[in-house]
Amino acid sequence: MTGKLVPHGRTFGWGGMTPEQIATASKPAVLALGEAYTRCPTTLRRARLLGISGWAFYVSSRAGALGDVRAETVTAALGFIAPDAVADGWDAAARVVRPCEVAAASLAECCRWGEETLGDLPRVDQLAALVERAVAAADASAMPLFAAWRAMPVDASTSGARVAAGLRVLREHFTGAHLVAVRASGMTPLEAVLAGPEGASGAMACGWPPPYPPVGPLVRRRLWAEALTDRLVAPAFTALGPVDGAELVELLTVARNHAQR
What gap in Å lies between CA 137 and CA 134, rounded to an integer? 5
User: What is the share, in percent, of the chain residues with pLDDT greater than 90?
Assistant: 89
What gap in Å lies between CA 260 and CA 228, rounded to an integer? 29
Which residues have C-beta within 8 Å of that of residue 182, sequence separation ≥ 6? 79, 188, 189, 191, 192, 225
The mean per-residue pLDDT over the stretch 20-47 comes to: 96
- What's this model's pTM, rounded to 2 decimal places? 0.92
* Cα angle: 119, vertex 167, 171; to 5 degrees: 155
pLDDT tens per residue, range 188-204: 999 999 999 999 999 99
**What is the pLDDT confidence band of residue 10, given thresholds at 50, 70 and 90?**
very low
For 71, half-sphere exposure in the C-beta direction (CA atoms, 13 angstrom radius) is: 17
The mean per-residue pLDDT over the stretch 11-29 comes to: 82
- Average pLDDT of the chain? 93
**pLDDT in the model for residue 39:** 93
- In 3-state terms the chain splits into helix, strand, coil percentages (rounded to 5) of 70, 5, 25
pLDDT tens per residue, range 46-77: 999 999 999 999 999 999 999 999 999 999 99
At residue 214, does pLDDT exceed 50?
Answer: yes
- Phi and psi at residue 78, in whole multiples of 5°? -70, -40
Neighbours of 144 (CB within 10 A): 18
What gap in Å lies between CA 115 and CA 84, rounded to an integer? 35
What gap in Å lies between CA 193 and CA 165, rounded to an integer? 26
**pLDDT in the model for residue 105:** 97
